[in-house]
Amino acid sequence: MDVYAAISDPSRRAILDLLLEGDRAAHELLGAFRFSQPALSKHLRVLREHGLVSMRKRGREHLYHLEARQLREVSQWVAHYERFWNEKLDRLGNLLEDMP
Amino acid sequence: MDVYAAISDPSRRAILDLLLEGDRAAHELLGAFRFSQPALSKHLRVLREHGLVSMRKRGREHLYHLEARQLREVSQWVAHYERFWNEKLDRLGNLLEDMP
DNA sequence: GAGTTCAATAACCGTGTGGTTATGTATTCG
DNA sequence: CGAATACATAACCACACGGTTATTGAACTC
């Protein structure tokens, strides 16, 4: 499984979206979903194994933290297609070069 | 299956990448892969059903054409994470607003 | 120490995915 | 016309995926 497969599941994308707002313990994340605790644990394991999240323990809680850098590959891949719907992007590269 | 699942397969991403360079007949695409013709046909069907490619017939050839707009959803989703590896993006939104 | 909470793992299961071979259908070529 | 080419579909198969329940193991709480 690669990063694309890891984010192909809507539940896992939702987890990442939640972590976008800050670190969360597993039981906090669970409240956002209808499936069982082991199901969440499996999703978190997949995300961990792909470096999309990291975990540290605080007492009995497992705090999960977003590691967004692993999404860079996806971002770069899809960027090749962006000119098809955004004409402004043609000039964007140059602008970025000039920025301090 | 949603768009994310459609692009979760590396072969299908490779097909899209090939179509990035221009329209291709199915048998031309097939040359880039090791799997069988029906396997390619299935991948193309998935891509068609998600609007990621379109097809027109020319004689007995089926010409496939990239429909990149369907990737916009992916692009927008991953954009939420881009600030984690690109500080310049923070100021990017404002710049885009000012562009003609 | 006993019970409770938080989370991971094990074992299992139905379903979907990606591949195959075999077949069918147009279309072109000789 | 018959043969060959291009492609899709049907039928099948091994395997991975996402879910479940049951169990286990830490770590608080009383």
φ, ψ at A37 (rounded to 5°): -60, -45
Exposed, middle or buried by CB within 10 Å (0-12, 13-18, 19+), for B52?
A: buried
How far is Cα of residue A89 from the mean position of the Cα atoms in its chain?
24
For A22: left if phi > 0, alpha if psi spans -120 to 50, otherwise beta; the answer is: left
Residues 19-78 of chain B sitting with CB below 7 angstroms of strand D: 25-27, 30, 37-38, 40-42, 44-45, 55, 60-62
3-state secondary structure A72-98: HHHHHHHHCCHHHCCCCHHHHHHHHHH
Query: pLDDT tens digit string along B66-85?
Result: 999 999 999 999 999 999 99
pLDDT tens digits along A6-38: 999 999 999 999 999 999 999 999 999 999 999
pLDDT tens per residue, range B2-48: 999 999 999 999 999 999 999 999 999 999 999 999 999 999 999 99
CA atoms within 13 A on the CB side of B26: 23
Residue A86 φ/ψ region, left for φ over 0, alpha for ψ in the -120 to 50 degree band, beta for the rest: beta
Q: What is the mean pLDDT of chain A?
A: 92
**What range defines the domain where residue B80 resides?**
3-98
Cβ of A60 near strand C (distance < 7 A):
yes
Q: Burial code of B62-90, b = ≥16 C-beta within 10 A, e = fewer?
A: bebebbbebbbebbebbeebbebeeeeee
Predicted confidence (pLDDT) per residue in A42-78, tens digit:
999 999 999 999 999 999 999 999 999 999 999 999 9
CATH number at residue A21: 1.10.10.10
Looking at the 3D structure of chain A, how many domains does it have?
Answer: 1
Interface size between A and B, measured as CB pairs under 8 A = 69
Check A77 against B20: CB less than 8 A apart: no
Chain D positions with an atom below 7 A of a protein C-beta are: 5-11, 16-22, 25-28
A86 pLDDT tier (thresholds 50, 70, 90): confident
